[in-house]
Structure 1
Amino acid sequence: MTALEFTHHVGHVSKSLRPFALRLTKDAEEANDLLQDTLLKAFTNRDKYADGTNIKAWLYTIMKNTFITNYQRMVRKNTFIDTSDDLYYLNSLESSTDNQAYSTFAMEDINAAIRVLDDSHKTPFLMYFQGYKYHEIAEQLQIPIGTVKNRIHLARKELKDRLSVYEYAV
């Protein structure tokens, strides 16, 4: 097979490789990289392609093997091997410390957000937070239970908006 014929066949089959790459990587950018690596290897190793062989299967095999090799390389790169004799300290809670700085900042922000709530929303919210039931809050504040639920809901919503910076914090 000439280089021109090979290029034509690979170009024709390469359209069906992208969905396979997407299934393997589950990411569009990584799929594009995998497809590019596969085609590069195919053109580099054109002399290893035997005439009469199913070129589509040959390309799929290259892609699958390239994906596996890349995955294994990534796993090896992210693997941490500790050769010290003190392995028992690795997961020991006694050897770890937590300075609680993050939680202190978070609590300061939460308290500040609660302080700026309107009193009509803050009071029912804080009572509910302290463990009062809706009907107990309604009796104590002498307002309907639906109003209590609504004010607590609005307080939560406002706090959620004010504290959105912590939405994805762990």
Structure 2
Amino acid sequence: MTNKEFTQQIDQLENLLFSFALRLTRNRQDAQDLMQETSLRAFRHREKFTMGTNFKSWVSTIMRNTYINRYRKMKSRKHVNQPIEDFSFALESRNAIPNKGEHDMRMNELKLMLNEIGELYSVPFLMFYRGYEYKEIANHLDIPIGTVKSRIFLARQRMKIAIGDRYQN
């Protein structure tokens, strides 16, 4: 399909396509945007149109799919209709610890929990925490990589349980 033929076909269907876009979006501005985006996509992919088939259906399908994709994208985004000042609490760090003493107490508690799970699990866990890769840990401890992964996984599970028990008591 040539550019001229394409333009003629789109011009003939403009009113029909706009009413379809208006029915989908229920908003005049959004319908105009959808029309523009549909025309652009149809033009970009005009070589995929098979001559002798229904051009109106082809363009309508592009419009419907464009609308659905945009709807899904907008649905997944979070919209905020309040002034930014209302969200100043988000800028405050809840993880900030105001004094060193409280930090030291938490670290001591975590060290005790690590000691409770045993050296068999805590050593690979701490090495992984400090940035060592599984292969490096396996070489250092002279054990298989699968064993390293298993011990780190079990250490995480036991730490979660220990931390959970701490907050339930």
TM-score under structure 2 length normalisation: 0.45
TM-score under structure 1 length normalisation: 0.44
Higher helix share: 2
